[in-house]
């Protein structure tokens, strides 16, 4: 009898130990990571940020179930360099991708390679805008260059193919297919799910044509900015009134050919990618708009406001398809028991101007393009409804992902893991961030500049064929209309900001000499060498 009791006791103890071991193993399981990045998605166009411009219920879910970052920024507001920073955790002048012209070196380390080496199954699907076969991914199916909204060309593990349909839905379908059928389900996974939209030329999906036509959308308060005290801002080519193209951007591709624009033929090629059914839906919507425009003969401010409304409605309509895709991915994770152990991130490669200062596009260190949306959920660690006010940059994605995965962060990574400030374990975080833009002379004519931003102030230096400093008090002047660099009342602030800028340039290994080397490479690539 005693022997039977001992056996029962041993079995019970074994079961208890097994249960504890199972729990420990479960708790230590490396998290899956779904990193969703769109292109040129302004934080102003995400309803979780409270602007009221549109409604993005699925993207908002990430913030409701996790964290909303109120101060997410980039290091360089332009597509390919931003993505290189995201992958490497290093500033552009260190990873070598300072502009959209020169190639990216895939042989260097990136966080996907580190996770792959730690046992992760990795995939990159959608837009990456970095030439060459992606390294660090077991599976890649990426867009060729910028990609096309209709009948886009993808490169699947090095093999090119055109896929019929609309780009945003195709990218979502490919991501879901990998999650469901192609990955090794015995491994933790990393999925980079990257959309083209809402990048220029803002071509909506057929079902969302006219979605915002009944909504009154007023231009921002500084839409008619006169750029007083800001010569660099006055000399770019991002004006909605002067530079947005009637055919290429606003879809006024009239059948009679009366509307002649610089990029009309380029948009004709995009239109010709559609099927006859897609063209029919497109024409039914845009032809009346074209007729209306021709009949009005608009000029000046009236023309500017009309162009703004056409631009913003198409831009927001493309975002609706992005939001749908986010919902499909979130639903898949939940329905397949993956939600609890999966980190989901939503961000953009940079911000975008939605009429602020009268502009579209990005590139400047002014707030709307410098700042990017960032929403993160991870049920195991992040409390629903968390607000993060720290100065976070795309530089921080690589170390954060490695930190969450329990993988050593390489010593040469320049970003920092934001894990502990999201969980609330620490409030010790950086108090200043560095920015540099290099692509001039080039598209949109935005001057080269670098600068520093703190919680309250921003200092910028525009250079190359100009030597202009700008200083802003973001608490008193959040729309950056008043350059106070010459205001003696801010002399002490100016001195501290200059010192902080110098410290960051040293910390991140930047200098005038390095910038000159990058400039020489850029001019040579564009055949502009002196």
Q: What is the pLDDT of residues 173-204, one digit of tens each?
A: 999 999 999 999 999 999 999 999 999 999 99
Please give the Cα distance from 48 to 58 (Å, whole number). Answer: 10
**Alpha-helical regions (H) of 394-473:** 397-405, 419-423
pLDDT of residue 143: 97
Domain boundaries along the sequence of the chain: 33-203+314-428, 233-310, 443-525
DSSP 8-class letter at 220? P
> The pTM is what?
0.93
* Per-residue pLDDT, 529: 57
Does residue 393 contact residue 378 with C-beta atoms inside 8 Å? no
Q: Which fold has domain 443-525?
A: Arylsulfatase, C-terminal domain (3.30.1120)
Q: Is 443-525 the same fold as 33-203+314-428?
A: no
Q: How far apart are the first and last CA of the chain?
A: 98
Angle between helices 79-88 and 397-405 (to 10 degrees): 30
Give the Å distances, CA to CA, from 112 to 128, 294, 398.
13, 51, 8
pLDDT of residue 22: 31
Inter-residue contact 418 to 392 (CB < 8 Å) = yes
Copy the structure tokens of residue 374: 């960032």
Predicted confidence at residue 19, as pLDDT, reads 39
Rounded Cα distance, 79 and 39, in Å: 7
Half-sphere exposure of 497 (CA within 13 A, CB side): 24
Q: How many CB atoms lie within 10 A of CB 521?
A: 17
Q: In angstroms, what CA-CA distances link 153 with 17, 164, 167, 517?
A: 54, 9, 9, 35
Q: What is the pLDDT of residue 156?
A: 97
For residue 15, the surrounding DSSP H or E stretch is helix 2-27
Q: Does domain 33-203+314-428 have CATH number 2.60.40.1120?
A: no
**DSSP secondary structure string for all residues of 321-342:** HHHHHHHHHHHHHHHTT-STTE
Instruction: Give me Rg for the CA atoms of the chain.
Output: 25
Low-confidence ranges of the chain (pLDDT < 70): 1-28, 529-530
């Amino acid at each position: 009898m005693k022997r039977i009791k001992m056996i029962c006791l041993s079995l019970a103890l074994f079961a208890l130990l097994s249960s504890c071991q199972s729990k420990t193993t479960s708790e230590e399981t490396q998290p899956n990571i779904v990193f969703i990045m769109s292109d040129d998605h302004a934080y102003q166009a995400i309803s979780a940020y409270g602007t009221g411009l549109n409604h993005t219920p699925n993207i908002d879910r990430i913030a409701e179930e996790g964290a909303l970052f109120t101060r997410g920024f980039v290091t360089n507001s332009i597509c390919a360099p931003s993505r290189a920073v995201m992958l490497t955790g290093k500033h552009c002048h260190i990873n070598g991708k300072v502009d959209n012209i020169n190639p990216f070196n895939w042989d260097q380390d990136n966080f996907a390679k580190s996770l792959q080496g730690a046992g992760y199954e990795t995939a990159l699907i959608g837009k990456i805008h970095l030439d060459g076969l992606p390294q660090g991914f077991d599976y890649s199916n990426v867009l060729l260059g910028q990609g096309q909204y209709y009948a886009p060309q993808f490169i699947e593990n090095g093999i090119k193919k055109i896929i019929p349909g609309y780009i945003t839905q195709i990218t979502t379908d490919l991501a879901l297919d990998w999650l469901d059928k192609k990955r090794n389900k015995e491994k933790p996974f990393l999925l980079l799910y990257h959309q083209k939209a809402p990048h220029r030329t803002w071509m909506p999906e057929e079902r969302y044509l006219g979605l915002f036509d009944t909504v009154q959308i007023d231009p921002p308060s500084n839409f008619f900015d006169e750029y007083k005290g800001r010569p660099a801002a006055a000399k770019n080519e991002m004006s909605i009134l002067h530079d947005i193209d009637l055919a290429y951007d606003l879809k006024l591709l009239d059948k009679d050919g009366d509307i002649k624009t610089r990029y009309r033929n380029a948009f004709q090629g995009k239109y010709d990618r559609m099927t006859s059914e897609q063209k029919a839906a497109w024409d039914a919507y845009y032809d009346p708009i074209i007729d209306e425009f021709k009949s009005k003969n608009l000029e000046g401010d009236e023309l500017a406001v009309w162009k703004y409304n056409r631009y913003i409605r198409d831009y927001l309509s493309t975002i609706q398809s992005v939001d749908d895709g986010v919902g499909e991915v979130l639903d898949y994770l939940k329905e397949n028991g993956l939600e609890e152990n999966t980190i989901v991130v939503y961000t953009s490669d940079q911000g975008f101007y939605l009429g602020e200062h009268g502009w579209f596009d990005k590139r400047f260190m002014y707030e709307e393009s410098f700042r990017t949306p960032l929403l993160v959920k991870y049920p195991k660690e992040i409390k629903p409804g968390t607000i993060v006010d720290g100065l976070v940059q795309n530089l921080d994605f690589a170390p954060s992902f490695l930190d969450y995965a329990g993988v050593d962060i390489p010593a040469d990574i320049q970003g920092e893991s934001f894990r502990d400030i999201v969980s609330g374990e620490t409030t010790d975080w950086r108090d200043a961030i560095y920015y540099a833009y290099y692509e001039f002379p080039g598209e949109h004519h935005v001057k080269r500049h670098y600068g520093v931003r703190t919680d309250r102030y921003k200092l910028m230096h525009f250079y190359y064929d100009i030597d202009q400093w700008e200083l802003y008090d973001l608490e008193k002047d959040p729309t950056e209309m008043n350059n106070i660099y010459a205001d003696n009342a801010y002399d002490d602030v100016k001195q501290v900001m200059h010192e902080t800028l110098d410290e960051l340039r040293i910390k991140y290994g930047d200098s005038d000499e390095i910038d000159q080397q990058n400039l020489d490479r850029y001019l040579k690539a564009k055949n502009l060498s002196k």
